[in-house]
Chains A and B, each alone.
Chain A
Amino acid sequence: MHLTVLESVLPMPKVPDKGSVTRRGFAVLRVAVWEEPWVFALSVLASMVYGAMTVADGWALGWATDHVIRPALERGDTTFGAVASLISLFLGIAVLRAIGVVGRRIGAGIMQFRLQATYRRRVTRQYLKLPLEWHHQHPTGMLLSNANADVESIWFVIAPLPMAIGVIAMLGFATAAMFAADVWLAVVGCLVFPLVFVANVIFQRYLQPLATRAQQLRADVSEVAHESFDGALVVKTLGREAAETERFRTPTYALRDANIAVNKARGMFDPVIDGLPRLGVLAVLLVGVGRVRSGAADAGDVVQVAFLFTLIGFPIRALGWVLGELPRSVVGWDRVQRVLTAEGGMEYGDQRLTSTEAARLEVSGVRFGYLPNRDVLTGVDFTVEPGRTVAMVGPTGAGKSTMTTLLTRLVDPEEGAVKVDGVDLRSLARDELAGSVALVAQTAFLFDDTIRGNITLGGDYGDEDVWDALRIAQGDGFVKSLPDGLDTKVGERGTTLSGGQRQRIALARALVRRPRLLILDDATSAVDPQVEARILAGLRSAVRDSQAATTVLVIAYRKATISLADEVLFLDEGRITAQGTHLELQQKSAAYRDLVDAYEKDAARRQEEAELAAEIDDLDAEGASA
């Protein structure tokens, strides 16, 4: 971000938390001026040139009427010099005015889009800085609109701002020009211009709630459409298409009526705002004739003032536009400020992890909860020795996924410590942990990038490394079959992948880094059981006879996944309740048995029922034969 001279001298203006929308809106405008003082100054200067030249146009017509046209028409003759001065005067004014218009518009554009960009950069920097906990507390849709629509709505007001300031100058020049022409004509002007201004303000005030309502209803329509299309399969299979259409009809009709209401308001005020200057011209003509008759004014004065009315009628609306945009601007400002003023962020130490061997993981006395007084983990202790593969097993909601976020320092424990190679994660330098530990989460997130980009994430890995990683993740086959192979774009505009394919890419992303500690959080849930078996086998052989020694912690439900492990940790109600090999745990812990054997139990129950039914059949048969 550039630092201007002003910035170093003047502190950024404060926007008060309370007060009228107009007052707060003007404070936001002051911030805009403070952020972009030079662009603002230039565009206002250009706008003032435009304002002055608009008034000059009226003045020139008055002057030409009295000094060139009337004398020429009365005398029946004119001079070359008079005509030349006419042409150069009007062309000169037109050129200067055009320069003013271009300068004003380009200046406003530069300022508006620069401010947008600045605030988008600030908001996204906050997103990257704020801890994951903060992200969890805010809905995704809201964060996206904070960075996009809300930033945009703060600065819409900048587009008409220079013009509005130019119009204020224009009104000043016009008043002066009118008084110079004739006092009484000026009085007419002083009545009409404020009236047009007041009509504009009333209109904006009246329109604002209507426009806001229409905006809200557009969101409602969109919500129903989103929901209905997302649930299309349910809608279709239950034959509810007609009922859904009725549900959609309600907000659609409400929006239709709201739009009509907005237009009725516009239809009412537009003719008033348009008509007032026209009535003003007629008043000027009427008063003007009287003044000319009494010899107090010339015909040129009347023409000049009348022409000014015609010229100023439209630009004066810019004042209304600015006032009308202020509420939206303030709402956007408040929403964006909530992000920009959010506190938080992780502290880092300066320790490094220098080992190239498999990592040792140590968790001691870890307590953690998302909400106060509701701990998810309470006093977790365990150690994973280098090179071991450990499975973490536990019922839904036991805190397994939370554990993975602690191990990768996405969050910090409230008590206790997580250590890798004996170093507390909190004392590691920034980005140090990612060099040693890789996490593959339950839901695979892919970037709008190529498959290669999604695996390397900008890291320096050769194609051979990428293919190796894909091979272990069982993803080489489908990637090869894609038209552009590794260069295939994934995401909305590229190829769409199935859940299982996405998971395999996410897995390859972790494997290509040859992490010293690999954490898998149910990372193969969406792949076919057969494919999963192959992945696990590949992973096991890669880990066992590995050139790159890796410690693995895997969260799993399926027995095959668990059986990959040298050791099993059973996590229940926020603590490790049992630890040992799979066989040991099966003997030791009833809860573990229940969990792991759930599938088998289900199958066994069916078996028993079938046997019972067979016995009853046999008994019936015996009874019948007896």
Chain B
Amino acid sequence: MSAAEATRLDHGDDAGGLATLRQGLRVSPELAQGWWITALLALTMTAGRIVVPIAVQQTIDKGLTGAGGPDMSYVAWMCVVCAAGVLVTAGASYLTTVRLAINSERGLATMRIKAFRHVHDLPVLTQSTERRGALVSRVTSDVDTVSQFLQFGGFIFLVSIGQMLLATVVMFFYSWQLALVVLICFVPLFASLKYLQRLMSAAYGVVRAKVGEMLSAIAEPVVGAQVVRAYAIEQRTQQRIDGSIEDYRRTATRAQAITGITFSIGGLAAGLANAGVLTAGVLLGVDKQATLGEILAFMFLVALFSDPVQIATQVLTDAQSAFAGWRRVLGVIATPADVVDPGESGVVQARGPISVEFSDVDFAYPEGDLVLRDVDVRLEPHRRVAVVGETGSGKTTFAKLLTRLMDPTSGAVLLDGVDAREISFVSLRERVVMVPQDGYLFDASLAENVRFGRPEVTDAQLLEAFESLGLTDWLESLPDGLDSPVGQRGESLSAGERQLVALVRANIADPDLLVLDEATSAVDPGTEVRVNAALERLMAGRTSVTIAHRLSTAEAADEVLVFDNGEIVERGPHDELVGAGGVYTRLHDSWIAQRSEL
């Protein structure tokens, strides 16, 4: 029914890394708080790691092989200094970790909340139930991916870069020739890094796709247990599952193999560098251009240099998926909301009888055909209006425009003569309330669900609201009365009872204009009668518009609007329309035929 375009989300796929960063910092300013302190600490932390190679060199050259044999006091003094260096490193490391965690977690929490709030303003949320899962991922797993990367990968990344740079500096300080040898030995690895990383992210991309396929195959015997059994297709189902499990296993193992090979290449390069340094060191040492301590210190420096390189490919792959997750979340925040609250500057209307006017309203989903055209109608206060028409005739769109879940493409919806777009949300939602077909219930008590719209109402007022709809009997029949839990999505109650809760909820909200989407599902006659009686009482004294699926509702209305193909084709009370020989007559005939024997 809704055009695919209306459910579009900005994925921000085309945003570059730097643009993402800028946008991300704008959304979560906490991320950059005191960044230079963190950077200084991180530098101190990596500096401490260089202590060991220097200590080794000093011990060997000055302590062991220095003039006059081993010098115990020099080594002892140096070891104390170095130990102090290690301790400072530890302190700096702790502070860096904690600062990074606090800033990133605060920033991400801010982003998560902003995204959550914004999702509620997106039309896709109410128009495409299928996309809700994706929206939930935006505020959950996508943010978690970024958080986990910043905690592990981001930290390692920061340390690694510092460690490699510092190790390089110290190497050049000791011997530029040996330093060059080390760098040359790592050239093949650096050259292949980009390629390996691409290979890895491609492999993991396939893995992710296969996980999705596997999950959907595994869901079949669980969600579709009844169909699988009734049609005796256990074997076929198992084959599909086995196939998808095997696909996933194969691709995951392959990705793991690529990771393993990549990881080992770093070690190979380190081995090559070791052999190169020792050989070159011996040749240089023979010419008195390198001391034993320096040569050996290089072995420790090579270890410092190669460790980060070995994990770099893994970190880069993680970084890629973290950035992709970040972009997706930012993309949601950047998706413009169709319906905007005028906020402070909006009109605040007085409460009381309300009139509604559609003035030359057209509506089309973006890049779609017109769903409503030339709707021009005025509904007087206190009227009871029924909207009828076949599926796709535009009656639901009419209700969505009326409640400002969407705005018209052209024309205007006026409430008491004021364009709905100019009325503040607070005022609008106070005056206009829609009761959807399936009144969604939250996993909480009956009372909490009923006072959802107005948390401040007292229990006494709640009881009054039940009473005024004639539902006290029903309330008392529940085991815990107002405190009865309704279960997930209200599943502890029957469909009819959920409708009752939705009606009481609307009663508490006490709107001037009530928009009802009539439930189509059959409920048992007892509840049916209760629902109808409660509805009557709820509509009394208000303007109401009901999207009628049963023509009995239209029969009882003051006025009927008949929609056909996006237009209002007939209008008037039931009695006038039923004999007019138009669309309504046709709808009514088939309704009658369906109620009686064929």
Contacts and interface: CB of A to CB of B under 8 A. Distances in A.
Nearest to A281: B52
Contacts of A438: 230-231
B401 interface: no
Given A132-B226, A233-B126, A496-B128, 10 more contacts: A113-B249, A229-B136, A234-B440, A234-B505, A248-B116, A263-B105, A289-B64, A289-B72, A448-B220, A598-B528
Interface stretch (B172-180, B277-285, B462-470): B277-285
A168 interface: no
Interface in A211-267: 218, 221-222, 225-245, 248-249, 252-253, 255-257, 259-260, 262-264, 266-267
A138 B390 CA distance: 39
Contacts of A275: 86-87, 89-90
Interface in A433-466: 433-435, 438-439, 441, 445, 447-448, 457-458
A90 B267 CA distance: 12
Given A101-B264, A279-B86, A249 B64 contact: no
Interface stretch (A174-182, A326-334, A414-422, A559-567): A559-567
A373 interface: no
Select the residue from B113, B264, B292, B405 with max chain A CB neighbours within 10 A: B264
B98 A263 contact: yes
B67 to A, nearest CB: 14
A138 to B, nearest CB: 9
Given A238-B433, A307-B299, A263 B151 contact: yes
Given A97-B271, A144-B222, A303-B56, A492 B216 contact: yes
Select the residue from A73, A242, A582, A594 with max chain B CB neighbours within 10 A: A73
A126 to B, nearest CB: 9
B119 A229 contact: yes
A559 B595 contact: yes
A598 B452 CA distance: 32
A72 B598 CA distance: 109
Contact of B136 (A91, A124, A226, A259): A226
Nearest to B59: A285
B507 to A, nearest CB: 12
A303 B141 CA distance: 48
Given A65-B296, A83-B279, A559-B597, A268 B521 contact: no
B594 A267 contact: no
Select the residue from A102, A114, A558 with max chain B CB neighbours within 10 A: A102
B1 interface: yes
B594 A533 contact: yes
B234 interface: yes
Contact of B65 (A147, A274, A299): A299
A252 to B, nearest CB: 5
A259 B59 contact: no
A599 B236 contact: no
Select the residue from A86, A106, A408 with max chain B CB neighbours within 10 A: A106
16 contacts: A76-B286, A89-B275, A117-B248, A132-B229, A140-B223, A218-B144, A227-B443, A235-B120, A236-B120, A270-B93, A405-B226, A433-B232, A441-B227, A529-B590, A557-B522, A560-B594
A30 interface: no
A525 interface: yes
A134 to B, nearest CB: 9
* 3 closest residue pairs by CB, A with B: A94-B271, A239-B429, A109-B256
B79 A286 contact: yes
Interface string A599-625: 110110010000000000000000000
Contact of B232 (A230, A431, A491): A431
Contacts of A52: none
A292 B64 contact: yes
A248 to B, nearest CB: 5
Contacts of A72: 282, 285-286
Nearest to A255: B109
Contacts of B70: 289-290, 292-293
A235 to B, nearest CB: 6
Interface stretch (B192-200, B359-367, B539-547, B548-556): B548-556
A397 B493 CA distance: 12
B190 to A, nearest CB: 17
B165 interface: no
**Interface extent on B, as a size class?**
35 or more
A117 B249 contact: yes
B271 A95 contact: yes
Interface string A290-333: 10110000010011001100110010000000000000000000
B16 interface: no
A125 B238 contact: yes
A449 B224 CA distance: 13
Nearest to B281: A69
B217 interface: yes
B425 interface: yes
Interface stretch (B239-247, B346-354, B371-379): B239-247
Select the residue from B109, B441, B529 with max chain A CB neighbours within 10 A: B109
Interface string B184-224: 00000000000000000000000000000011111111111
B221 A128 contact: yes
Nearest to A238: B453
A310 B234 CA distance: 57
A236 B259 contact: no
B268 A128 contact: no
A537 B593 CA distance: 11
B452 A293 contact: no
B101 to A, nearest CB: 3
A458 B222 contact: no
A249 B442 CA distance: 17
B79 A282 contact: yes
A116 interface: yes
Given A239-B429, A602-B528, A560 B598 contact: yes
Contact of B236 (A83, A433, A457): A457
Interface string A510-528: 0000000000001001101
Contacts of A249: 113
Contacts of B93: 267, 270-271, 274
Interface in A165-203: none
B467 to A, nearest CB: 21
A548 interface: no
A536 B596 CA distance: 13
Select the residue from A91, A114, A132, A225 with max chain B CB neighbours within 10 A: A225
B168 interface: no
A232 B120 contact: yes
B166 interface: no
Interface string B273-303: 0110011011101101001100110011001
Contacts of B230: 408, 410, 434, 438-439, 441
B313 to A, nearest CB: 13
Interface string B496-533: 10000010010001000000000011111111110010
A187 B556 CA distance: 96
Contacts of A231: 440-442
A48 interface: no
Contacts of A522: 522
A598 B75 contact: no
Interface in A578-603: 582, 594-595, 598-600, 602-603
Contacts of B440: 230-231, 233-234
A110 interface: yes
B222 A135 contact: yes
Interface string B58-97: 0110011100011110011001001100110111011111
A263 B101 contact: yes
B218 A147 contact: yes
Contacts of A242: 117
A603 B552 contact: yes
A530 interface: yes
A77 B139 CA distance: 68
A386 interface: no
Contacts of B597: 559-560, 563, 582
